[in-house]
Amino acid sequence: MSKNIPDMNDTIAAIATAIGPGGIGIVRLSGPQSVTIAEQVFLPTAGKKALPFKSHKVYHGHIQHKKNVIDEVLLTVMRAPKSYTCEDVVEISSHGGLMAVKAVLELVLGLGARLAQPGEFTKRAFLNGRIDLVQAEAVLDIIQAKTQSSLRVSTHQLKGELTVELEKIREDLLGAYVRLEALVNFPEDGIEDRGRNEIAAHLAHAKANIDALLAASEQGRLLREGVKVVLCGRPNVGKSSLLNVLLKQPRAIVSDVAGTTRDTIEESAQIRGIPVQLIDTAGILSPRDTIEEEAVKRSHIHMQSADLVLLTFAASEKLTDEDFKITRSLEGQNILVVVNKSDLPAVLADEDIRRILPGRKIIRVSASQKIAIAELEAAIEANVLHGQNVDTTNILLTNTRHIEALKDAQQDIAGSQEFLRDNLSLEFISENLKEALAALDRITGRDIDADLLESIFSVFCIGK
Ligand SMILES: Nc1nc2c(ncn2[C@@H]2O[C@H](COP(=O)(O)OP(=O)(O)OP(=O)(O)O)[C@@H](O)[C@H]2O)c(=O)[nH]1
Ligand SMILES: [Mg+2]
């Protein structure tokens, strides 16, 4: 395809399991030389009769180099095209831990295999036509999935369900295009009206399918990328205590000394299946030294980029100037008001808060007594999902790249529909349809340039 795409005739090798102590470690080879290389290093327990290795069979034996046994292993051969990459693949399962796996890898590299680039096995599966780009990206999403729900969505994508939906849209666009070309090339009196109606029907169908995919995509993106939730509030209201209960572990130091948290604390969590980056900030307003100045600066940076701010007050205290000041600094933000310490006698009324924060949802909780934490989690979920339920069976679109391309197609189709309504020349529509088709093909990888391919696979881990 291009200079950026490494040679497909090479045999590539990499450690496919996580590096570190573990039960087994796997070195994977793919390419025309993989079986030959395996034959040179692997001594089957069954002896010569094990040769030639049968496909999809597991062999017990030892990896040897110059008569030295490196490890006792299991070897699996998967011959082309029935393998992950559609090429001859060999997997050597040695004992886990760094040394054995590394020794096996070095040995096969010494015999002519080349160290695989990140994601190169999956890239080969794509370039050899076993999976499309959507499925290749789903592999990465599965590896990186942080919640059950995002894993479920990616598994659907890997099975090709998004591809099937995209194919339906493509068929409609092609249907419209073919009809259009016929009208342009064989203009006969009397059939133009019927032709235009057929094109309109195809376009409407394609657009409805795209609209449905995009409607669920916002939730899909959320499941994949997560949301940034920042805890704000003046010192001592219990921000760090809230962080700890939401994380379900004592991560931040909690004390009755105002100004306990001096640096921002970032942790990943799951709130009702949504991946969340939780950030606890320092409640400081008037920094006393350069460290506190830096803490305030960091808090502000996080606040600005937050998807949701949990603005925290203490039920046991009236609002103070500090509360007003913080509230003002959060103007324009998506805020959920949390009144903590609801186990103590209530001094702060909802009306007091509504006066400075009209129309915001207020949740009363107690971090230390774990009161109404489930309600707080539900309120966070409702806020970020805009009150909709996440139905993972509906979500097929999660990847920003796919969403953007589909939006392009949506626009092109809308343009075609407008031209059709205005009875404009069919050539205009033809151009728009071609663009829409190209946008779809960018998603599945039918039409993709080498640089984009490079950037997609470069974020994979080596060995996948
Ligand atoms: N009664 C009661 N006390 C609480 C509650 N939550 C936190 N506290 C106490 O309030 C004090 C301050 O809690 P922190 O979580 O450290 O407060 P913070 O907002 O992080 O404070 P800074 O880091 O100083 O800005 C501690 O003594 C906590 O034990 C609660 O729900 N009820
Ligand atoms: Mg704190």
Mutation to probe ligand 1, out of 343, 368, 370, 371 (largest number of atoms < 8 A from CB): 368
What is the pLDDT at residue 6? 62
Q: Check residue 389 and give its pLDDT.
A: 66
Q: Ligand 1, atom 16: nearest CA belongs to which residue?
A: 254
- Residue 3 confidence (pLDDT): 42
How confident is the model at residue 300, as a pLDDT?
Answer: 87
- For residue 52, is the peptide bond before it cis, meaning its omega torsion is within 30 degrees of 0? yes
283 lines ligand 1 (CB under 6 A): yes
For residues 400-406, give the mean pLDDT. Answer: 93
CATH of domain 138-209+400-445: 1.20.120.430
CB-CB contact of 312 with 232 (8 Å): yes
CA distance 225 to 58: 39
pLDDT at res. 1? 41
Ligand 1 center to residue 247 CA distance, Å?
16
Collapsing DSSP to helix, strand or coil, 95 comes out as strand
The pLDDT assigned to 436 comes to 96
Cα separation, 264 vs 203, whole angstroms: 51
357 CA distance to ligand 2 middle (Å): 23
> How do residues 58-84 score in pLDDT, each as one tens digit?
999 999 999 899 999 999 999 999 999
Atom nearest to 235 CA in ligand 1: 25
Query: What pLDDT score does 135 carry?
Result: 93
Ligand 2: centre distance to CA 236 (Å)? 7
The strand order across the sheet containing 24-30 reads: 42-44, 57-65, 68-78, 89-95, 24-30, 12-15, 114-115
State which ligand 1 atom lies nearest to the alpha carbon of 241: 15
Question: With 60 as the cut, is the pLDDT of residue 357 above it?
Answer: yes
Q: Which residue has the higher pLDDT, 208 or 260?
A: 208
Q: How crowded is residue 245: how many other Cβ atoms within 10 Å of its Cβ?
A: 20
Section 147-174 average pLDDT? 90
- Ligand 2: distance of its center to the CA of 224 in Å? 29
Whether the pLDDT of residue 371 is over 80: the answer is yes
CATH number of 12-132: 3.30.1360.120
* Angle at alpha carbon of residue 430, lines to 428 and 435, rounded to 5°: 100
Closest alpha carbon to 438 in 130, 250, 94, 174: 174
- Cα 305 to ligand 1 centre (Å): 25
Neighbours of 365 (CB within 10 A): 26
**What kind and span of H or E run contains 364?**
strand 362-364
* pLDDT of 189 strictly over 80: no
Phi then psi dihedrals of residue 29, to 5 deg: -120, 145
- % the chain with pLDDT above 70: 97
Domain boundaries, the chain: 12-132, 138-209+400-445, 223-384
Strand pairing report for 42-44 and 57-65: antiparallel
Provide the β-strand partners of residue 235: none
Helices 373-384 and 239-247 cross at an angle (nearest 10°) of: 80
Q: How confident is the model at residue 390, as a pLDDT?
A: 65
pLDDT of 387: 67
Cα gap 236→353, rounded to integer Å:
18
Q: Is 338 in the pocket of ligand 1 (CB under 6 A)?
A: no
pLDDT in tens, 298-311: 888 998 889 999 99
- 223-384 CATH, one of 3.30.70.420, 3.30.1280.10, 3.40.50.300, 3.10.450.750: 3.40.50.300
pLDDT band, residue 356 (cuts 50/70/90): very high
- 322 burial type by CB count under 10 A (0-12 exposed, 13-18 middle, 19+ buried): middle
Distance from chain centroid for Cα 408: 21
In the chain, pLDDT over 90 holds for what percent of residues?
Answer: 65
Pairing state between β 265-271 and 12-15? unpaired
Q: What is the pTM of this model?
A: 0.71
Residue 371 DSSP code: B
Give CA–CA dist 416/333, Å, rounded: 38
- The pLDDT, as a whole number, for residue 4 is 47
Beta carbons of 5 and 20 less than 8 angstroms apart: no
Instruction: Assess contact for 406 and 215: CB atoms under 8 A.
Output: no
**pLDDT classification of 2: cutoffs 50, 70, 90:** very low
260 touches ligand 1 (CB under 6 Å): yes
Residue type at position 12: I
DSSP, residue by residue, 24-92: EEEEEEESTTHHHHHHHHEEETTGGGGPSPPTTEEEEEEEEETTEEEEEEEEEEE-TTSSSSSS-EEEE
Which pair of structure tokens corresponds to residue 284?
């400081």
Single-letter amino acid, residue 127: L
Whole-angstrom distance, CA of residue 253 vs CA of residue 240: 7
Q: Which of 15, 13, 21, 16 is nearest to 96 (CA)?
A: 21
What are the residues facing 79 on neighbouring strands? Answer: none
What CA–CA distance (Å, rounded) separates 434 from 63? 55
Mean per-residue pLDDT, 92-97: 92
Token readout for 88 is 């001859």
Task: For residue 135, give the nearest of 105, 177, 98, 164 by alpha carbon.
Answer: 164
Nearest CA among 65, 133, 185 for reference residue 456: 133
* Helix 192-215 and helix 217-225, axial crossing angle in degrees, nearest 10: 30
Helix (H, G, I), strand (E, B) or coil at 98: helix
Arithmetic mean of pLDDT, 145-170: 88
- Average pLDDT over the chain reads 91
Look up residue 370 and give its two tokens.
């774990």
pLDDT in tens, 22-60: 899 999 999 999 999 999 999 999 999 999 999 999 999
Among residues 177, 209, 119, 445, which one has the least CA distance to residue 217?
209
pLDDT over 60 (residue 5): no
